[in-house]
């Protein structure tokens, strides 16, 4: 006899697709903004002063990732490095490891300090001692909830590293296109 699947364990395909689509849209907008910023900065123009439609920032990443053979090659290499257990994943793992060491150290020092406060105020019956003991006991309980936030920190680190990669890809392509358009091989229309 088989058990019915637990509703909490069922995959929500549409929800996951929507989440990925939202993150992809944000990443594309970010890449488009960085590309435009580096491109126009080369010509000493501020992106904020130009009348560019917001939708165009979602189209520009096509130029970043698929603009020419070299851009496609850089994009493929970046995705390959991000997907494989290479330097990028080691950088993410090293960052997470450092954060874990720092947070564990802070928690252990805080717990030691709080236990000393509790033991020092144990024998005292003044109002201040009672309030300090209450605060220390409350803080000690809150420190145990740090593990709950660890997954959030992990996701923030991963997203930060992905944004760093997108930033540099967009910046390099923006500068390369601006240098090309400032020279003899310009693709800009003659005006």
d(CA 42, CA 174): 9
Contacts of 28 (CB under 8 A, 6+ apart): 57, 58, 61
pLDDT of res. 133: 64
93 within domain boundaries: yes
d(CA 95, CA 87): 12
187 within domain boundaries: no
Mean pLDDT across 99-126: 72
- Is residue 143 predicted with pLDDT exceeding 60? no
Lowest mean pLDDT among 4-18, 40-54, 95-109, 150-164: 4-18
121 within domain boundaries: yes
What stretches of the chain adopt beta strand conformation (E)?
none
189 within domain boundaries: no
> What is the extent of the structural domain holding 98?
22-177
- Is residue 175 predicted with pLDDT exceeding 80? yes
Long-range contacts of residues 82-89, Cβ cutoff 8 Å, at least 24 apart: 82/162, 82/165, 88/161, 88/165
* Residue from 67, 63, 56 nearest 29 by CA: 56
* pLDDT interval class at 129 (50, 70, 90): low
188 within domain boundaries: no
- pTM, two decimals, is 0.62
16 within domain boundaries: no
Tens digits of per-residue pLDDT, 65-79?
777 788 788 878 877
144 within domain boundaries: yes
Task: Return phi, psi of residue 46, to 5°.
Answer: -90, 130
Contacts of 153 (CB under 8 A, 6+ apart): 96, 99, 103
Comparing 123 with 60, the larger pLDDT belongs to 60
- By percentage, how much of the chain surpasses pLDDT 90? 1
Tens digits of per-residue pLDDT, 22-60?
888 888 888 888 988 898 888 888 888 888 887 777 788
Q: How many domains in the chain?
A: 1
């Amino acid at each position: 006899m088989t058990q019915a699947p637990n509703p909490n364990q069922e995959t929500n395909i549409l929800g996951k697709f929507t989440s990925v689509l939202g993150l992809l849209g944000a990443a594309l907008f970010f890449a488009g903004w960085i590309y435009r910023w580096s491109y126009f900065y080369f010509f000493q123009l501020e992106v904020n002063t130009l009348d560019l439609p917001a939708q165009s920032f979602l189209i520009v990443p096509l130029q970043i990732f698929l603009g020419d053979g070299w851009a496609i090659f850089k994009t493929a290499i970046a995705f390959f490095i991000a997907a494989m257990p290479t330097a990028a994943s080691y950088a993410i793992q090293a960052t997470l490891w450092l954060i874990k060491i720092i947070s564990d150290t802070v928690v252990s020092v805080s717990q030691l300090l709080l236990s000393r406060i509790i033991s020092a105020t144990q024998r005292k019956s003044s109002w201040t001692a009672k309030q300090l003991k209450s605060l220390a006991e409350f803080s000690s309980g809150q420190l145990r909830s740090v593990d709950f936030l660890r997954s959030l920190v992990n996701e923030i680190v991963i997203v930060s590293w992905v944004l760093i990669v997108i930033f540099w890809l967009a910046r390099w392509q923006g500068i390369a296109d601006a240098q090309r358009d400032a020279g003899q091989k310009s693709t800009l229309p003659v005006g």
